Structure 1
């Protein structure tokens, strides 16, 4: 049996527990940077590797090597009687799940049975953030509760992945109006995906808007902000590397929204947080206050060159996020 999981933390606990089979930790960050329907094409992989190195400090050679290694294990899935996908409800995991379902949908399963364990809560945990919160014993209790993956799940995952990897924003809008109920948590996760786009109010996506709101309410250190944003936007499943990248972008001049007081270097894959960074104080600049009030539009002032899946956001954005209606709207 092969178990595919997101995160070394979960993988280590499964190895420690009474879980029969091999463990494959799938290492990717699909909410960040360009993605493509077929992720193995060398030119496209190179573009993604360059982006992840530039934004989060993930060495491109390291990224490419790990991709090839995990794909080799996946290609040999036929040697297992069963494959179990262990995932949770947030955007991070739902995109990973959709990619893997798309991948399996293009291959004959033969005698190998595909199974899915996907959870959005756990008894006794008020704010369920993910499988990493669970103890080894709690994960053991989930073993065997997975459900068989059928054609409907494969088709739904494939449709989601192809929409997310599309450069056509209308595909990202359309998937929200399709029936994705075969994957229980997909629709809510995709709603979070589109809410990351700049809003009609001030050009801030949901991550940036939440950071601004928290600072206005007195949360003013990097670690506190990361923890509070993680709680409020738990459905994103955003990790620390992505958060530091977003925070850095908001503090870069010109058109900085944030002022960071104190000596600091932003953490990334190579550099972990330091005491000096942890003790910095963060406040809104004058522009940050104007954007927070809706007086100015950050994207119009700063411009944008960002990737969310297959979408490259740059130039004039004809689609914006409407926080009041909680949907993307077309700007005439």
Structure 2
């Protein structure tokens, strides 16, 4: 195989050229050419014949002196970042723990030179039962929901939960913790869950949270930002005190309670110590059945999109929701799919799903009942919809359900 480029001499990796080379190698392998590359892949335990781009990227990375393509990319990104920011020092130290509700910024943190440990707490507490229970029972409930809603294996969930629970249990008064959050309910619930779980305040407890970024037209989350923006955010972190922990414990108790009135009260207040919390609680409160139609706000927005645009692939509906209609975007694609299922699979469904190899390709359209609920001619709660949970509030047939007004007032229907 010819040499990839001159990076071995000057150390500067040309990622676009390396990507193109990996694609050309893949094409050559599929055309029964590139015998040397095939022999190298066989020696590495990849006999083929069905190769994919990741295989040739791996080979290209090894020829450049890296163990894998992600390690090559991380190195190239870090070098480019250092060139753009010669004066930036990520003074986080190795003892610092960076906590986030997903793994979407870990690569960018490493690229920017952050040295601390990274911890993920990704339980989507915006969905499914989040009841007040002792910890072992609580995690069992969350595991059962993740298996049912997302089709995840029990062993995978158990391993993920064990890792996260251990990391939480090891937080103590001498810990150094930095939390990275945005304004939506997914992140704010992660924030209060972690803070409420602390038995004492760590000696360093800092928060980085943002609701918008200058120059970003539609800010959805920190994970969409380039490493340069994480360097911009780092000096904006602020310390949290005991008042933040007290508010988190109060809010967590309200969110997990079967009665949402205390939650609604907190949602209607300003909280200077955690200023993004109130709006996020108010948005999540709208996932309770609306007083006029029985729909959550997410369900209502989906029906409106289909009512305005007609039949659409589910992926297009999701894109429209996230990019335009959702006031505080918080959903991932799998979460969106899980939220759609009760509207499709109910005995009297609101949505009809077409055929397709993958769910984003399947066409969605309103049923006759969906049109009637959307136009105020029928109420979803009168159709015996599938049971669901919002925080600690259980909504099930035969129960007098809690409903919410557009202004955030809650009462039993």
Calculate the TM-score normalised by the size of structure 1. 0.88
* Secondary structure in structure 1 of the residue aligned to 2:235: coil
Question: Residue in 1 aligned with 2:58?
Answer: none
Q: Does 1:292 align with 2:374?
A: yes
Shift in Å, 1:236: 4.4
* Secondary structure in structure 2 of the residue aligned to 1:241: helix
* Secondary structure in structure 2 of the residue aligned to 1:143: helix
* Secondary structure in structure 1 of the residue aligned to 2:257: coil
Cα RMSD for the two superposed structures: 2.0
Question: Residue in 1 aligned with 2:162?
Answer: 68
Q: Does 1:8 align with 2:103?
A: yes
Q: Does 1:248 align with 2:341?
A: yes
Q: Contact conserved, 1:181 with 1:187, CA < 8 A, in 2? A: no
- Mean Cα deviation higher: 125-134 or 76-85: 76-85
Q: Specify which of 187, 190, 193 is matched with residue 96 of structure 1.
A: 190
Partners of 1:2 and 1:295 lie apart in 2 by 53
Q: Does 1:223 align with 2:315?
A: yes
Q: Contact conserved, 1:3 with 1:23, CA < 8 A, in 2? A: yes
Q: 1:38 to 1:103 in 2, by over 3 A?
A: farther
In structure 2, runs of 5+ residues without a counterpart are 1-95
Question: Residue in 2 aligned with 1:320?
Answer: 403
Q: Does 1:20 align with 2:115?
A: yes
Question: Residue in 1 aligned with 2:247?
Answer: 156
Q: Does 1:139 align with 2:230?
A: yes
Q: Contact conserved, 2:131 with 2:257, CA < 8 A, in 1? A: yes
Partners of 2:122 and 2:412 lie apart in 1 by 37
CA-to-aligned-CA distance 1:191-247 (integer Å, 9 cap, x gap) = 111111111222111011100100011151111111111232151411112210111
Partners of 1:132 and 1:221 lie apart in 2 by 26
Question: Residue in 2 aligned with 1:258?
Answer: 351
Partners of 1:278 and 1:98 lie apart in 2 by 33
Q: Does 1:330 align with 2:407?
A: no
Q: Which has the higher contact order (CA 8 A, sep 6+)?
A: 1
In structure 1, runs of 5+ residues without a counterpart are 265-273
Q: Does 1:172 align with 2:267?
A: no
Partners of 1:37 and 1:261 lie apart in 2 by 39
Partners of 2:131 and 2:152 lie apart in 1 by 19
Calculate the TM-score normalised by the size of structure 2. 0.72
Partners of 1:195 and 1:150 lie apart in 2 by 30
* Secondary structure in structure 2 of the residue aligned to 1:13: helix
1:113-128 paired onto structure 2 within 5 Å: 113-128=204-219
Question: Residue in 2 aligned with 1:269?
Answer: none
Q: 1:81 to 1:9 in 2, by over 3 A?
A: same
Question: Residue in 2 aligned with 1:267?
Answer: none
Partners of 1:186 and 1:241 lie apart in 2 by 25
Q: 1:201 to 1:177 in 2, by over 3 A?
A: closer
